[in-house]
Chains A and B, each alone.
Chain A
Amino acid sequence: MPDQFEDLREAEELSEDEERLLDELGITGESRRRFLGQVGVAGFSIFAMQVIAQRQALAAGGTYSEAAADPISLENAVKVVFKVNGEKKTVEVDSRMTLLDTLREKLDLTGSKKGCDHGQCGACTVIADGQRVLSCLTLAATCEGKEVTTIEGLAKGEELHPMQSAFIKYDAFQCGYCTPGQICSAVALIDEAARGDASYVTAVEGGSNTKLSDDDIRERMSGNICRCGAYPNILKAVKEVHKGEETAATWKFHRPDEKAGADKEVADETV
């Protein structure tokens, strides 16, 4: 009902500031009526409000104008010197920045993944001072002097960490998103078991802290969620490295000439 809108528009008036802004923009006389007819007084008011507020903030000075002048400047900058994968790093971060975001956004180490960003999934697990921790709940500002190992720091050159090899061997992933966290967590688990650290399973049921049962490995890996459900193979991979015993892989890629024979091969377990 165009008539109603027409009435509405006439009933509204421009404020002094808005009038001035239109003058500045060179929209006067007939073109002003046309312009307002197209965008409406209300529409223009929203635009004008933003411009006016911005001008007031700039005139008042303070942090707004500083931030506007230099988008890089940080309001609460914290300088952090720490080691990542053996290398000394110096970063200046906003106090709000997590270790995870620092690794990914400032140090180009995108192996550690942001799953839930709330400490519920374990995808961001890294090893700090020998302990597995959640980098998404660790403020970078608290990392001064720490030694952090990420998934990128596990291999020695081209030689994979035994846990990385075991994950490949047992196909312990599907989409792979949780894998860096799973592997960092599993690497720390091996050290914890070597130290004889207990778990809820051993604390209430007894059993060895150095030779872990399957249930205990599951308990100790429970902070890493795998949405693809690769748990049975993750367990196999962790178990092999923990026990230090080689077990035959349950699968392999076949070459084209093996195709005929491949059908006869029976995997000892299917998932």
Chain B
Amino acid sequence: MRPFKFNSASNVRDAVNAVSKNDSAKFIAGGTNLVDLMKEDVERPTELVDVSRIDLRQIRSEGDSIIIGAMAKNTETANHPLVKMNLPLLSQAIFAGASPQIRNMATNGGNLMQRTRCVYFYDTSMPCNKREKGSGCAAKEGLNRMHAIFGWSDECVAVHPSDMCVALAALDAVVRVEGPDGKEGKAREIGFADFHRLPADDPTRDNTLKHGELITAISIPKNRFARNSYYLKVRDRASYAFALVSVAAAAELDGKKINAVRIALGGVAHKPWRASKAESFLKGNEAVAENFEKAAALELEGAKPLGHNEYKVELAKRAIVRALQKAVR
């Protein structure tokens, strides 16, 4: 690991100022991804600012939203009564990810900042446009069984690794950030769909945060999905593995009729993939298997599999159907 200066910040302003001053400084919270990437020489910050001690751990109800603090750990978030009762989809998604040890360390803000687990991104002897702009993409013609079927570009075919973010995408979460330009205590709000980005011609950028901006909280609008939601994760092992395909499904029913529905997919794109075609087909229709199948087929029409991941197309279709069935049971 390369040498770096270490500082601990006690408030948001100090943290933002410290990182803003140095282009190669980074925030560190749980460190579960960043420390690993630094060991691999993929991340090379010259300075780390520890933000884990900043008082941003609250999980609370605020008007029409539930606010989860950026520094709250994944475990305490998933176990929090407010989250379990009102946002079971989020609890399930958090529990589907990583291991108990990692969830005890990982923060909510950090979960959003996870980088792809594409093996070529991790291997510094291979070309990777995300790690080194312009060096090429080794995955596109390489081993790409784990890679994207939606939204990829010639520059990058990596997928976003988070489960939690798939649920947050389905629940229309809003990310609150504070940065060097903003007023103190005044957060910039980024809709979840605009937080992570597709690779396009610059895969080095996973999201739309500016340097020095710190996630302070995630706000999730209260909803009526608690009764009918389900997070399905399909992976190589029964536990502790990244998703091949995952589905966050939530519905609001009036008898058999679907009043509102949300579907987001993980493991298929550079960001959590909202299945909006499937959603618009299902809205107002009956919650029956036949419609779920049609909706899934409609969504997957847009899929563009790579050399080794064509299986994901059929898998995603079936996973959508299964997740919806579990959600509306």
Contact = CB atoms under 8 A, between A and B. Distances in A.
A-B complex is real = yes
Given A95-B5, A131-B75, A198-B79, A141 B99 contact: no
A180 interface: no
B311 interface: no
A222 interface: yes
Contacts of B84: 198
A96 B3 contact: yes
Nearest to B50: A142
A192 interface: yes
A66 interface: no
B79 A197 contact: yes
Interface string B273-300: 0000000000000000000000000000
Nearest to B34: A137
A124 to B, nearest CB: 9
Contacts of B231: 204
Contacts, number: 112
A110 interface: no
A214 interface: no
B55 to A, nearest CB: 15
Contacts of B127: none
Contact of B32 (A75, A137, A197): A137
A113 interface: no
Contacts of B91: 198, 203
Contacts of A134: 32, 101-102, 105
B11 interface: no
Contacts of A179: none
A125 B104 CA distance: 11
B35 to A, nearest CB: 5
B99 A223 contact: yes
Interface of A: 75-76, 78, 94-96, 98, 117-119, 122, 125, 131-134, 137-139, 141-142, 144, 185, 188-189, 192, 197-200, 203-204, 218-220, 222-224
User: Closest 5 A-B residue pairs measured CB to CB?
Assistant: A223-B99, A222-B239, A95-B6, A200-B95, A131-B104
Given A132-B101, A200-B96, 12 more contacts: A78-B6, A96-B1, A98-B35, A122-B99, A137-B102, A138-B31, A142-B52, A189-B100, A198-B84, A200-B239, A203-B78, A222-B238
11 contacts: A76-B4, A95-B48, A96-B3, A119-B32, A122-B99, A138-B35, A139-B6, A141-B50, A142-B8, A203-B88, A204-B92
